[in-house]
């Protein structure tokens, strides 16, 4: 990466501290190794070969992707990929089976329709794709609804050419571990998983892979019964949600959005050049869209496309026009995807970080 002068970089732009990235990656890798589980990070958070390389060097075992573009990019770094999203349609299936034959490729799905189309495409390409059956454990987004349905899909896998049953996938995205009332929700997830393992075993199947976890449940991953790997992705950068949940501290924050103050005309407010097109319009319970990294008491109160309004009512700090600030977004993944590239700091040097996995079209390298 070629050095750049950050003063000459226009704002808004995502800003990454690579020292913190490495520290975050090592902490997660050490935690999973300590508990005998693997880390297969979801790269949708960063979409960067450089950041994925840091994760793999720290000890990640393979990578998780959501798009075929991400799969094409990350297949240049690892021979172990999980596509954690059902590939629907001929165009996606054609790209799927064109991935390197040396790749240990797995696909997560929850329907016989997708399974049969993946199997047909894979068999026609003379390859075998591992199948993870996704089960809904409470989020209500995707996933089969019972252990019986898991067994039914596993049985269908075993009857088809081009695929093999590799295990189970789940996402406990509804769990917020710092809340006492989530104890019951966790117990229900544990019960569902235990029932599914028993049903698979009774039918003669073994879930070699049980892929789960989330960043909110990151440091409790070892408590999930039968878990073999976690896909936690936003832990590489963390965000305001991670702070609120107690999963991360201020010292763990590795991603912010660098913005410039452009107006102080309205009393009690300041406006920055970072709006929804740089941060995404995801609010929290307090209605805010982020906080300032160096002034955590300053809330990003409202967003329009190109304007971010800072609430100065709880601080004595008064910014001036042209001053640069760093915003901690509520949700890091969507903010990164809105950037064309990231400004990266590594000790005292700065460079531009390419987001090779961003976009939908085929990657040509």
Reported as a single tens digit per residue, the pLDDT across 247-300 is 999 999 999 999 999 999 999 999 999 999 999 988 877 779 999 999 999 999
pLDDT at position 180 is 58
Can you tell me whether residue 202 is helix, strand or coil? helix
Query: Rounded to 5, what percent of the chain is helix, strand, coil?
Result: 35, 25, 45
Alpha-carbon span 351 to 227, nearest angstrom: 38
Segment 73-78 mean pLDDT = 98
CATH tag for 19-241 (out of 3.20.20.10, 3.10.580.10, 3.30.200.20, 2.115.10.20):
3.20.20.10
Average pLDDT, whole number, for the chain?
A: 96
| Domain definitions of the chain by residue range | 19-241, 250-354
Query: What gap in Å lies between CA 176 and CA 227, rounded to an integer?
Result: 18
pLDDT tens per residue across span 145-164: 999 999 999 999 999 999 99
Q: Is 220 helix (H, G, I), strand (E, B) or coil?
A: helix
Topology alike, domains 19-241 and 250-354: no
DSSP for 52-117, written as a single string:
HHHHHHHT--SEEESSHHHHHHHTTT-SEEEE-S---SHHHHHHHHTS-TTSEEEEEE--HHHHHH
Convert 273-332 into a string of H (helix), E (strand) and C (coil): CCCHHHHCCCCCCCCCCEEECCCCCCEEEEECCCCEEEECCCCCCCCCCCCEEEEEECCH
CA–CA distance, 263 with 322 (Å, rounded to integer): 9
Q: Is the pLDDT of residue 181 over 60?
A: no
**Residues contacting 285, CB < 8 A, separation 6+:** none
CATH topology of domain 250-354: Lyase, Ornithine Decarboxylase; Chain A, domain 1 (2.40.37)
pTM above 0.85, yes or no: yes
């Amino acid at each position: 990466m070629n050095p750049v002068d950050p003063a000459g970089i226009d704002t808004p732009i995502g800003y990454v501290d690579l020292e913190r990235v490495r520290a975050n990656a090592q902490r997660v890798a050490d935690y999973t190794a300590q508990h005998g589980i693997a880390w297969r990070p979801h790269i949708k958070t960063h979409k960067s070969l450089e950041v994925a390389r840091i994760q793999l060097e720290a000890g990640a075992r393979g990578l998780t992707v959501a798009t075929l573009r991400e799969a094409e990019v990350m297949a240049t770094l690892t021979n172990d990929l999980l596509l954690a999203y059902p590939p629907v349609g001929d165009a996606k299936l054609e790209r799927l089976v064109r991935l390197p034959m040396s790749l240990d490729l797995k696909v997560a799905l929850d329907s016989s329709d997708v399974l049969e189309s993946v199997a047909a495409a894979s068999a026609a390409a003379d390859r075998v794709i591992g199948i993870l059956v996704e089960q809904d454990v409470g989020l209500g987004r995707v996933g089969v609804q019972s252990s019986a349905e898991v067994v039914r899909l596993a049985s269908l896998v075993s009857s088809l050419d081009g695929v093999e049953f590799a295990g189970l996938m789940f996402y406990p995205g509804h769990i917020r571990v710092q809340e006492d009332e989530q104890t019951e929700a966790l117990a229900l997830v544990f019960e569902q998983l235990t029932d599914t393992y028993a049903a698979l075993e009774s039918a003669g199947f073994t879930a070699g892979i049980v892929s789960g976890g989330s960043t909110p449940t990151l440091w409790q991953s070892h408590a999930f019964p039968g878990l073999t790997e976690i896909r936690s992705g936003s832990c590489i950068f963390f965000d305001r949600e991670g702070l609120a949940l107690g999963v991360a501290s201020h010292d763990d924050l590795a991603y912010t959005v660098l913005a410039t103050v452009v107006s102080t005309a309205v009393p009690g407010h300041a406006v920055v050049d970072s709006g929804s097109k740089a941060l995404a319009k995801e609010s929290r319970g307090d209605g805010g869209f982020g906080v300032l990294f160096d002034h955590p008491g300053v809330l990003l109160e409202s967003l329009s496309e190109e304007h971010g309004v800072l609430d100065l009512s709880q601080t004595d700090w008064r910014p001036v026009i042209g001053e640069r600030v760093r915003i901690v977004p509520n949700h890091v993944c969507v903010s990164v995807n809105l950037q064309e590239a990231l400004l990266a700091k590594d000790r005292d040097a700065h460079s531009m970080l390419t987001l090779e996995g961003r976009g939908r079209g085929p990657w040509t390298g």
